[in-house]
Structure 1
Amino acid sequence: MVDMSFTIATLARRGLLAPGSPAKVLRQLAELRRWGFGLGGELRSAAARDPDGIAIIDDRKLPGAPGESTGPQPGRLTYGELLSRAERLATALHGACGVQPTDKIGLLCRNHGGLIEGMVAASLLGADAVLVNTGLSPAQLAVVAEEQRLRILIHDSEFTEHAVALPRKVERLDETGVEEVMATAPPGGIRRPQREGRLIVLTSGTTGAPKGARRRTPGGFAPLASIISRIPLNARSRMLIAAPVFHTWGLAALQMGLALRATIVLQRRFDPAEALAGAIEHDCTSLFAVPVMLQRLLEVPPRPTPLKVVAVSGSALPGGLATRFMDVHGDVLYNLYGSTEASWASIATPQDLRKDSNTAGRPPHGTRIAIVSQAGREMAPGQTGRIFVANDMVFEGYTNGAGRETLDGLLATGDLGHVDSDGLLFVDGREDDMIVSGGENVFPSEVENVLAALPQVREVAVVGVPDSEFGQRLAAWIALQPGEILDPTAVREYVRRHLARFAVPRDVRFVRALPRNATGKVVPRDLPW
């Protein structure tokens, strides 16, 4: 969908076509031609072009390979070292553990280089990497292992109890076990498999069991060019990925980082003060986060940082948050609207967000969106309808064989929204979130945006609940800023002044914090009633 001239011009503008050693450039292109644009091919390409460039900075202290007098620098891996470790892990998984192409390798890891090594090793073997949400309970993990037919689970040591609960047929390797099997791997490269491994991302599961979504492998540089045409990321820059890599946005950041031969900084857990300190210490010019992290960053003392891009995705930005964040940290915020299935639909730049902090922006080059009625008729500007999208990276389907509704080559996102007269997209809410109260359509997100603008409110969730008289009604759960006070009557009166009568939440409950999953999304079923 993205034309070649646009791709070349964008890559050149972002520094990817800078001159280099002819021999290294040839090796880089040869690796891409042989291995493709999956994670394995991206890493091999980066290592061929820039083997001594720093690929990963994290908190690990790693041993050297057998026969090496020195190991990697503590907390850092070059592209050459990262590829070497991924190849050794792939060889070990095949030789010691019997992993074959078409097998599925589960990865239950926080953000660190071990997760990337496992993903790349699976790619090099032609196996599928199943990225497991770190917020799953042992029982949920067991269901995922069964449904995805995991051959082996690689997990952080902190999840040992989760792993023990798995069926015996699923082999388990913690961080120590990974190093032990890698030590047994014979030297030498690895051959390209006949089958291309796939990345499988689990849906968030906020309203039900997570499903496995098969991610499409890029067919070239066009998807990268599409995103970096709107989000200014440059080759060989330093990027801090705070969003969980096991989910779509963190994964997208990783894929872009490898393609850009960037230095990727990882922290196992998000802490706002440590994130700012890490960005400063490692001279990061970009930060990838989920929206709730922006709120947490505003709760710690601001510090001057080298950040030129703070890119968020994963859930809607609460009303006014974009403006408040940019007032403190500068006009560096970019908001990507997408989903596990659709990848991306639109990107809001700082200029877009200054114009209206609730906008989802515009489709990047090569992306199409359509707003249609239930009958499939295209809606006029300002009219709300179903959002459909098409791009080069929409998913290939769920692992259970199901798919998503399509219309004229576009995929249903499951959201409702509208486009204004200037072409900016606005997401009004999920199709299954909209309620009908007393015959009126109500979007909970509209009420959330109004309440989020109250200075006393730290975070808020509004959902529909059954009502014997009106069919459904709205209920609001509010976590207040420290030391602040509100009462239900004041909340209802505030909404009444800004929205229609039927949008006023009948139930208002105050909580210390909203229940969220590991990607920062509110889990409605866990809201206390």
Structure 2
Amino acid sequence: MLPNPLTTPAALHRAENQWPDGVAVVDDQWGARVSLTWPELADEVRRFAAGLIGLGVRHGDRVAVWAPNSHHWPIAALGVQYAGAVLITLNTRYTVSEASDIIERSGAQVVVVSGAFGGIDRLAEVVGSTIPTGRSVVSIPLDDAAAGPDVIAWSTLLASATDELLQQARDRADAVRADDLSDILFTSGTTGAPKGVMAEHRHTVHGAHAWGANGRLSETDRYLMVNPFFHTFGYKAGILPSILFGATMVPLAVYSPSASMDVVSREKITVFPGAPTIFQTILDAPDRDQHDLSSLRLIVTGATIVPVVLIERLQSDLGVETVVTAYGQTETSGFITTCRPDDDAVTVATTCGRAFDGMEVTLSEQGEVLTRGRMVMRGYLDDPRATAETIDADGWLHTGDIGALDDRGNLTITDRLKDMYICGGFNVYPAEVEQVLSRFPDVTEAAVIGVPDARLGEVGKAFLTVQPGATVSPDAVVAFAKEHLANFKVPRVVEIIEALPRNASGKILKREMR
């Protein structure tokens, strides 16, 4: 069954009409409990969109959101798209220089940013940078963050929504088409430079619908959202399926086993996706028996190797009826393959499942995983060469992963053509890290690999060569990396060596380093 409609504004209109009394979002993280029905959420979205239009945002303009999970995030994201604009998401772990680069490259005219979060006041950082030059800054009221003279407060933006602007917002929403851009999510490539993945409304809605249908989502579900909204897992497999199927969104900004179990118990959570590490920590939590987790019916995991015993324990220890794993990339809105609810534990743990509805999967002669279908991106922002290298003439997207297909069509990822590794659920591209480390004084070359880590799956290890006679402190290199990179990209270990291993053509042999 295909989704109808195929734009997020139209999907929101459908939600407010189909579930007028249904609860769209519940958020009690910021001192006062917020609970919005679907019509109330839609009204907030319209007011936000009207406020953006009042700031001069036009159809096709870009608006960036840099904030943790809260009820503000879906209002802002959907409000951007309701106004006919394009959503740019920013990783909350980015440094201000990383965020600034993406804001500049995407051409974002408005930046929506939170205040104090995770010990860092992002709003203050933005105000103290060059980001406000030539663009508007809107603050999300988390904690005690206050808007300065060059910042528009969230409440001020919503209050600016006059009747005329609200009508313009409705007109903009009705004018959005399925092949308009909905968002640009940035993902690093092998060159180390982040690439903007351009997705259309039809790509994102098709993917969200396929994900929700596979999980059998409905208006009776209550969905705990610990996956960050800036990521496809939180946005396209979280917010959008909830709109399409009427599930209640329950955002959580900071994950901890106790906080998550408290929310599951209090809010009677039924759907809980996340990385395998999340569920391992819950299963091993000493106070797990003190929480009622019996409402859980669906857990979705993936992003790394999943032990069979973890799947079995989720079903036996927690009594979860359905556990599935999936595989995707930002270039496919996060959706390529998935296990089905009736798959056995071994299939769920050892494979990525079969192609999502609307997608095809095959292998090249070299064993590379190729995919094509409804969720494949339009292309990379301002990079037709990289687009052509990734999507061939027949429409097959080359994933860069090596895999195998069994006789049922289940995909197993066996290796990576690229050197990317996954740290705590986040993709890390060594080339980007290597470029930063190479700027450290007296470092001549840098090579980074992923090494196993019991808690995060993989962490970075950097091998450096230095100028003859120079002394470089590994601790100083790590401190330097922390200034310029998000923490999941920072190598945990730095080793100084005389020379990097190379083949006859001079290419660095990372397999020997491993």
TM-score, with structure 1 as normaliser: 0.69
Q: 1:327 to 1:142 in 2, by over 3 A?
A: same
1:153 aligned to 111, 127, 132, which one? Answer: 111
Q: Aligned runs of 1:508-523 on 2, under 5 Å?
A: 523=489
Tell me what 1:57 maps to: 26
Aligned residue runs from structure 1 range 389-468, under 5 A: 389-402=371-384, 403=387, 404-406=390-392, 408-433=394-419
Task: For residues 324-376 of structure 1, give each alpha carbon's deviation from its aligned partner in whole angstroms, at most 9, with x where no partner exists.
Answer: 544433453211111100232211246343346221111233321001124xx
Corresponding residue of 2:324: 334
- Residue among 114, 130, 138 paired with 1:166: 130
Q: SS of the counterpart of 1:179?
A: helix
Q: Does 1:317 align with 2:279?
A: no
Change (3 A) 1:371 1:135: same
Paired residues for 1:30-69 under 5 Å: 36-59=5-28
CA contact (8 A) 1:200 1:212 kept: yes
Q: What CA distance in whole angstroms lies between the structure 1 residues aligned with 2:71 and 2:416?
A: 35
CA deviation after TM superposition for structure 1 residue 140, in Å = 0.6
Query: Which string of whole-angstrom CA distances, capped at 9 and with x for unpartnered residues, describes residues 196-242 of structure 1?
Result: 45212122679834322112212797645533443222234211111
Question: Cα 1:207–1:221, aligned 2, differ >3 Å: closer, same or farther?
Answer: closer
- Which residue, out of 316, 322, 336, partners 1:345? 336
Match of 2:43 in 1: 84
- Tell me: CA distance 1:154–1:220, structure 2 relative to 1, closer, same or farther (3 Å): closer
Q: Counterparts of 1:361 and 1:88 in 2: how far apart (Å)?
A: 41
Structure 1 residues 491-502: aligned runs within 5 Å: none
Partner of 2:441: none
Q: Structure 1 stretches (4+) deviating beyond 6 angstroms?
A: 472-475
Tell me, in whole angstroms, the C-alpha distance in 1 between the residues paired with 2:157 and 2:208: 35
The one-character-per-residue Cα deviations of 1:383-418 (angstroms, maximum 9, x if unpaired) are: xx1001122111111112331233633211111100
Aligned equivalents of 2:24, 2:347: Cα separation in 1: 37
Q: 2:354 aligns with which of 338, 351, 362?
A: 362
Secondary structure of 2:74's match? helix
SS of aligned partner of 2:264: helix
Contact 2:181 2:200 in 1 (8 A): no
**2:49 and 2:79 in contact (8 A); partners too:** yes
- Does the 8 Å contact 2:24/2:247 carry over to 1? yes
* Alpha-carbon distance in 1 for matches of 2:60, 2:315: 46
1:138 aligns with one of 63, 87, 96: 96
Shift of 1:263: 0.9
Distance between the aligned counterparts of 2:455 and 2:69, measured in 1?
30
Question: What is the identity percentage for the equivalent residue pairs of Structure 1 and Structure 2?
Answer: 22
> 2:211 is matched with which residue?
227
Q: Distance in 2 between matches of 1:480 and 1:104?
A: 37
| Greater Cα shift, 266-275 or 213-222 | 213-222
CA distance in 2, matches of 1:401, 1:205: 12
Indicate conservation of the 8 Å contact 2:339/2:348, yes or no.
no
Q: 1:278 to 1:191 in 2, by over 3 A?
A: same
Aligned-partner Cα distance in 2 for 1:206–1:136: 19
Residue 169 (structure 1) shift: 1.5
In 2 relative to 1, CA 288–205 (structure 1 residues): closer, same or farther, beyond 3 Å?
farther
Deviates more, 1:320-329 or 1:266-275: 320-329
Q: What residue is the counterpart of 1:191 in the other structure?
A: 170
In the TM superposition, residue 321 of structure 1 has moved relative to its aligned partner by 4.1
Change (3 A) 1:270 1:474: closer
- Letter of the 1:344 counterpart: F
1:268 aligns with 2:268: no
Contact kept? 1:124, 1:197, Cα under 8 Å: no
**Cα displacement (A) at 1:275:** 1.2
CA change 1:85–1:229 in 2 (3 A) is closer
Question: What secondary structure is seen at the aligned counterpart in 1 of 2:412?
Answer: strand
SS in 2 for 1:275: helix
Check the 8 A contact 1:124/1:192 in 2, yes or no: no
3-state DSSP class of the match of 1:173?
strand
Show the counterpart of 2:224: 240
- Between the aligned partners of 1:474 and 1:222, the Cα distance in structure 2 is 35
The 1:112/1:356 distance shift into structure 2, 3 A limit, reads closer
Let me know the Cα RMSD of the aligned residues: 3.6
2:72 corresponds to 1:114? yes
Q: CA deviation at 1:175?
A: 1.8
Compared CA separation, residues 209 and 298, structure 1 to 2 (3 A): farther
Q: Is the 8 A contact 1:236 1:260 kept in 2?
A: no
What's 2:156 paired with? Answer: 180
CA distance in 1, matches of 2:245, 2:234: 15
Equivalent position SS for 1:120 = helix
Distance verdict in 2 for CA 1:171–1:238, change over 3 Å: same
Shift of the 478–316 alpha-carbon distance from structure 1 to 2, 3 Å rule, reads closer
Map 1:97-108; keep pairs closer than 5 Å: 97-108=55-66
| CA distance in 2: counterparts of 1:98 and 1:221, whole angstroms | 27
**Structure-2 separation of matches of 1:206 and 1:86:** 37
Residue in structure 2 matched with residue 387 of structure 1 by the alignment: 369
Structure-1 separation of matches of 2:487 and 2:318 = 23
Instruction: Measure the CA separation in 2 of the matches of 1:140 and 1:220.
Output: 25
Residue deviations 1:484-506 (CA, integer Å, cap 9, x gap):
xxxxxxxxxxxxxxxxxxxxxxx
- Residues 114-149 of structure 1, C-alpha deviation per residue, up to 9 Å, x if partnerless? 111111111121111101111110111111111111
Q: Is the Cα–Cα contact under 8 Å of residues 345 and 367 in structure 1 kept in the other structure?
A: yes
1:454-491 deviation per Cα after TM superposition (whole angstroms, max 9, x unaligned): xxxxxxx9x99x9xxxxx9988454479xxxxxxxxxx
Matched residue type, 1:169: G
- CA separation in 2, counterparts of 1:317 and 1:480? 13
CA distance in 2, matches of 1:293, 1:104: 33
Distance 1:390 1:524, change over 3 A: farther
Aligned length: 413
Amino acid at match of 2:327: Y
Does the 8 Å CA contact 2:362/2:370 hold for their aligned counterparts? yes
The 1:427–1:268 alpha-carbon spacing in structure 2 relative to 1, beyond 3 Å, is: same
Distance (Å, rounded) in 1 between the aligned partners of 2:194 and 2:232: 13
Partner amino acid, structure 1, of 2:270: T
Trace 1:6-25 onto structure 2 (pairs within 5 A): 7=1
1:132-182 deviation digits (Å, cap 9, x = unpaired): 111110111111111111101001112113312233123211124111221
